Amino acid sequence: MNTTIMLFLVQDGITNGAIYALLGLALVLVFAVTRVILIPQGEFVTFGALTYATLSAGNMPGTAQLAVAMGVVAFGLDLFGGRRSLHLRLVARAFAINILLPVAIYALTYWFAGKNTPIAVNIALSLLIVAAIGLFLYRLVFQPLAHTSVLVLLIASVGAHLALQGLGLVFFGAEGQRGPTISDAAFMVGPLRFTGQSIAVYAITIAFIVGLWLFFGLTLYGKALRATAVNRLGARLVGIRTTLSGQIAFLLASVIGALSGILIVPITTLYYDTGFLIGLKGFIAAIIGGLVSYPLTAVAALVVGTVEAFSSFYASNFKEVIVFTLILPVLVLRSLAAPEVEEEKD
Amino acid sequence: MTQRLLPISIFAALMAVIPLIPGMPPFWIVLLNNIGLAALVAMGLVLLTGVGGLTSFGQAAFCGFGAYTTAVLSTAYGMSPWLTLPLSLLVSGGAAVFLGLVTVRLSGHYLPLGTIAWGIGLFYLFSKLEFLGRNDGITGIPPLSIGTLKMLDAGTIYYAIWIAVLICALLSMNLLDSRTGRAIRALRRGHIAAEAFGVQTPRAKLLVFIYAAVLAGLSGWLYAHFQRAANPTPFGAHAGIEYLFIAVVGGAGYVWGAVLGAGIVVILKEILQSYLPLLFRGEGQLETIVFGILLVLLLQLAPTGVWPWLMSRLPFKPARKRPDTSLTLPARDRPAAAPGALLKIDNARKQFGGVIAVNNVSFDVQPREIVALIGPNGAGKSTTFNLITGVLTATGGTISMQGRNIDNAPPQEVVKLGIARTFQHVKLVPDMSVLENVAIGAHLRGHAGAISSMLRLDRADEAKLLAEAARQIERVGLIDQIDQPAGSLSLGQQRIVEIARALCVDPTLLLLDEPAAGLRHMEKQRLAALLRQLRDGGMSVLLVEHDMGFVMDLADRIVVLDFGTKIAEGTPDAIKTNPDVIKAYLGAVA
């Protein structure tokens, strides 16, 4: 085999792997805090990417309306949930978060859409919109189910994925889209060409890995989030607001997802349903990391990306088959190594 | 006609008449066929997920195995569809064996995640393989035929599909109502309790996994001959999710919930697909949006599904038959009574990382003796129990029962030697009746397997098991609660149910972990009388208990642990005055 080809494939694999690593990290984060296996992570990716692409094309993305609609329902739920003790402060707070915030984002988007806005503004708007959707997704779907089993949460997660993917088709249509690159700079190292885009992918991935590691290891908030994951009741008894923990986790996950999408949409064409597959590859990395370890997840994601790059070169027809069966040997190893832990489940 | 079969026969007659109604739109028959096909897959999921607690998003792939097997064999090799039926089932079952060996040992969420991954992997495999026709699939599959009757239209294959549904529903119900079924139903509540009574939990999981896959394979086989074509789309990840949705809608723990759920979902989908585009701009998969939202709402509002809700509204309740207690089980095979101690623990040690939970503890239990293991919280009492019963493996030392070494033996082997136990935290299946819970204790004394249970050839065996269970329930004084769900009893009564379950083993040594906790004074006295009676009948009892009055009154000998170390051993009177014991309990010399 040709060394240059191999280097190209490794480079390609690492760029893809970095994206999977970001998604894998988000999945680990959400699972560790809320026990939700976040299948809609893929939708955060497509929503982020396609919102960015739509904005760049000068159009108004439908996701901004979705954020408002979800906010209205969330406001209704908040009022209904607190109907026995409706203080003015509570109502005002709920109104600010659920109505004012998405409406403000919508207004901003409306204001900027169609004008020749700089890339940074489009990115910021896309992140804001998807972050709001992520926040409300937790409020609407998972917060009412927070006390149930991992299994129920997983099925709900699948339901949310179906609904969001269907909405993605309505908002963005069936055609694929591409977005403008963040940076057109490029330089050569030997035979390899590094673009500003791929450097941005590496830098952001590393920044997030380090950031999450510091956040969970060193800050009080990070520790509170971890405590929520281990024992919700116990966490509440020591004064941790478990709802807030869930919201933070979803906020982070949606921002990470949207950012991954924005990073890859200049490199590959994304369709409304591409996110599901991309998210699942992040999953494979997360599973290899045992849904707990950030560094292991990142390494596994690089492996997944590299395997994908090589199999798309040598057996492009069976690329997906190979990537998804990668999980089987991992599961075998896990099942052999897994300690027999008794779970109280229902 | 028994009471059990009457509603099923009425349902079967009703289904048989439907296609004969004049003016029945053929489209409705197609819809009913789709319902039947989905119900078959969902029925497997009911057993796998609702009953066994193992979630699979990948059942659609097993349908694919069934459909493609018959598609290839009947088109490329011209085999008769009836010959390909067993092969289709074999291929889907075989795939389940392979994937099951890989995945069912995984706990919790790894299994569903694994199933999503291989579901998608297999979908891509179906759509890329040349001999499966890639994305176009295989067309021109011959119809099913009996003699000269070719099942070409929806109205004739309708009977094949619904006969399959009815037969599978009967087989599934028979399986659940049997020795193997109880083992499967116990899986959902964790494996420790089931294993303590000899259930091979990995085997039970694999069994139900294969069963679900074979039902899905059957559905795929029928689908291929109904559509006369097979392509990858209906076997993808979304179809797998939809089957799970059907099972949850219907009521994941109920065989007929699968049929009901399939009816609701298939019809709903049809309505959504035909009316939603009229309501909104006609763009795209609007039904998946509604579908996803409905799934979430359902989980939030009615997580148990429609079938149990419907059943609880029935004006009449089916009466349960009391087991005939005149039947007896043969006693457990016991080795010839060896002289000396029954149970001997020699320098047993258990370390969890740096914590020494049990520190070189030695003591024994003689035949016909009640020994109490006491000590403050965290003294290592329950850990000692777990070492004896094989739930934990000892770090060092030996444990032997009647001279046979049992350290490192798995729980299923330990119980065979006649050691039965109860748990500090009650481990019953709350939605199973007291009788069924107790019958799990007699698991090893029955012999009927899954196949004979499905075909109802296990009735003689089963009647004896239930009779034994009923006898033990009567013995512990809970005969009035025999048909109640175990979860509805008070905690104290649940502990007594655990004792009855342990007695079903026909044990020589009974290990009781805090049996008197939560009991009232009179109940404690009755329990003490029962334990004395058991001892006088030749059984030995080792118990952990915090109620000192109860222990001092009952035990022949007492072993005291503190911080994992044995600090005293002797008769109740000697223990009461032992200065070390007083210090351990009261903190200083009182």
A4 and chain B: CB distance < 8 Å anywhere? no
A188 C-beta neighbours (distance < 10 Å), count: 8
In contact, B369 and B555? CB cutoff 8 Å? no
Strand pairing report for B370-374 and B229-230: unpaired
What are φ and ψ of residue B177, in 5° steps?
-90, 55
Residue of A nearest to B125 (CA): A321
A335 and chain B: CB distance < 8 Å anywhere? yes
Q: Which residue has the tokens 């026969």?
A: B9
Contacts of A174 in chain B (CB under 8 A): 284
B116 and chain A: CB distance < 8 Å anywhere? yes
Q: Residue B559 in 3-state DSSP?
A: strand
Report the alpha-carbon distance of residue B476 to residue B531 in Å, rounded: 10
Contacts of A151 in chain B (CB under 8 A): 53, 55, 109, 112
Is the Cβ pair B292, A161 closer than 8 Å?
yes
Query: Measuring CA to CA, which residue among A157, A156, A335 is closest to residue B110?
Result: A335
Query: Measuring CA to CA, which residue among B204, B221, B208 is closest to residue B92?
Result: B221
Using alpha carbons only, what angle is made at residue A264 by residues A259 and A270, rounded to the nearest 5 degrees?
Answer: 105
Question: Looking at CA atoms only, how far is residue B108 from chain A in angstroms?
Answer: 8
In contact, B370 and B535? CB cutoff 8 Å? yes
Report the alpha-carbon distance of residue B211 to residue B47 in Å, rounded: 8
A331 and chain B: CB distance < 8 Å anywhere? yes
Per-residue pLDDT tens digits of chain B, which is 590 residues long: 466 788 888 999 998 888 888 888 888 999 999 999 999 999 999 999 888 888 888 899 999 999 999 999 998 888 888 999 999 999 999 999 988 887 777 666 677 777 888 888 888 888 888 888 888 888 888 888 887 788 778 888 899 999 999 999 999 999 999 999 999 998 887 788 889 898 998 889 999 999 999 999 999 999 999 998 888 888 988 888 889 888 888 887 889 999 999 998 899 888 888 877 766 665 556 777 888 888 888 888 877 788 888 888 877 666 667 777 777 878 777 766 667 788 999 998 888 888 888 888 999 999 999 999 998 888 888 899 899 998 888 888 889 888 888 878 889 988 988 999 999 888 998 888 999 999 999 999 888 888 888 888 888 888 899 999 999 999 988 899 898 999 899 888 899 999 999 999 999 999 999 998 888 888 899 999 999 999 998 899 999 988 888 999 999 999 999 888 998 899 998 988 888 888 887 776 54
Residues for chain A: how many in total? 346
Q: What is the pLDDT of residue A210?
A: 85
Is the Cβ pair B117, A174 closer than 8 Å?
no
Q: What is the pLDDT of residue A190?
A: 73
- DSSP letters of A123-167? HHHHHHHHHHHHHHHIIIIIGGGTTS-HHHHHHHHHHHHHHHHHH
Q: Which amino acid is present at B174?
A: N
Residue of B nearest to A35 (CA): B109
In sign, the C-alpha dihedral spanning A81, A83, A84, A85 is positive
Query: Measuring CA to CA, which residue among A164, A165, A200, A166 is closest to residue A180?
Result: A200
Contacts of A327 in chain B (CB under 8 A): 114, 117-118, 121
On whether residue A339 sits in a domain, the answer given is no
Question: Looking at CA atoms only, how far is residue B473 from chain A in angstroms?
Answer: 26
Residue of B nearest to A273 (CA): B285
**Which of B106, B285, B291 faces A331 most closely, judged by CB atoms?**
B106
Query: Measuring CA to CA, which residue among A2, A7, A14 is closest to residue A190?
Result: A7
Query: Measuring CA to CA, which residue among B260, B242, B276 is closest to residue B35?
Result: B260
In contact, A152 and B295? CB cutoff 8 Å? no
A332 and chain B: CB distance < 8 Å anywhere? yes
Contacts of A331 in chain B (CB under 8 A): 102-103, 106, 110, 114
What are φ and ψ of residue B279, in 5° steps?
-70, -40
Is the Cβ pair A283, B120 closer than 8 Å?
no
Report the alpha-carbon distance of residue A76 to residue A69 in Å, rounded: 11
On whether residue A250 sits in a domain, the answer given is yes
Residue of B nearest to A175 (CA): B284
> Which B-chain residues 201-240 have CB contacts (< 8 A) with chain A?
238
Most A CBs within 10 Å: which of B59, B127, B297, B300, as the mutation test of the A interface?
B300
On whether residue A171 sits in a domain, the answer given is yes
Residue of A nearest to B194 (CA): A342
Q: Residue B361: in which H helix or E strand, if any?
A: strand B355-365
Is the Cβ pair A37, B109 closer than 8 Å?
yes
Alpha helices in B326-406 (DSSP H): 381-388
Is the Cβ pair A343, B190 closer than 8 Å?
yes
What are φ and ψ of residue B579, in 5° steps?
-65, -35
Is the Cβ pair B189, A346 closer than 8 Å?
yes
B403 and chain A: CB distance < 8 Å anywhere? no
Give Cα B491 to chain centroid, integer Å: 22
On whether residue A42 sits in a domain, the answer given is yes
**Which of B118, B238, B248 faces A328 most closely, judged by CB atoms?**
B118
A141 and chain B: CB distance < 8 Å anywhere? yes
Q: What is the pLDDT of residue A15?
A: 86
Contacts of B296 in chain A (CB under 8 A): 140-141, 156, 159-160, 163
Report the alpha-carbon distance of residue B201 to residue B214 in Å, rounded: 20
Is the Cβ pair A344, B190 closer than 8 Å?
yes
Contacts of B117 in chain A (CB under 8 A): 280, 283-284, 287, 324-325, 327-328
Most A CBs within 10 Å: which of B293, B427, B431, as the mutation test of the A interface?
B293
DSSP state letter for B321: P
CB pairs under 8 A between A and B: 157
Report the alpha-carbon distance of residue A224 to residue A232 in Å, rounded: 10
Q: What is the pLDDT of residue B529?
A: 92
Report the alpha-carbon distance of residue B272 to residue B289 in Å, rounded: 10
Is the Cβ pair A320, B124 closer than 8 Å?
yes
Domains identified in chain A, total number: 1
On whether residue A17 sits in a domain, the answer given is yes
On whether residue A104 sits in a domain, the answer given is yes
| Structural domain boundaries, residue A314 | 3-334
B243 and chain A: CB distance < 8 Å anywhere? no
On whether residue A346 sits in a domain, the answer given is no
Contacts of A154 in chain B (CB under 8 A): 55, 109, 112
Task: Find all residues with CB under 8 Å of A143, minimum gap 6, and list them.
Answer: A243, A246
Is the Cβ pair B117, A324 closer than 8 Å?
yes
**Which of B106, B109, B293 faces A163 most closely, judged by CB atoms?**
B293
- DSSP letters of B29-48? HHHHHHHHHHHHHHHHHIII
As beta bridge partners, residue B391 has none
B572 C-beta neighbours (distance < 10 Å), count: 16
Q: Residue B330 in 3-state DSSP?
A: coil
B128 and chain A: CB distance < 8 Å anywhere? yes
Most A CBs within 10 Å: which of B111, B134, B285, B425, as the mutation test of the A interface?
B285
B98 and chain A: CB distance < 8 Å anywhere? no
Q: What is the pLDDT of residue A343?
A: 43
**Which of A159, A325, A327 faces B292 most closely, judged by CB atoms?**
A159
Question: Looking at CA atoms only, how far is residue B432 from chain A in angstroms?
Answer: 13
Burial (CB count <10 Å: 0-12, 13-18, 19+), residue A170: middle
Low-confidence stretches of chain A (pLDDT < 70) are: 1, 291-292, 335-346
On whether residue A345 sits in a domain, the answer given is no
Q: What is the pLDDT of residue B318?
A: 65
How many Å from the N-terminal Cα to the C-terminal Cα in chain A? 53
**Which of A287, A344, A345 faces B113 most closely, judged by CB atoms?**
A287
A173 C-beta neighbours (distance < 10 Å), count: 16
Question: Looking at CA atoms only, how far is residue A188 from chain B in angstroms?
Answer: 37
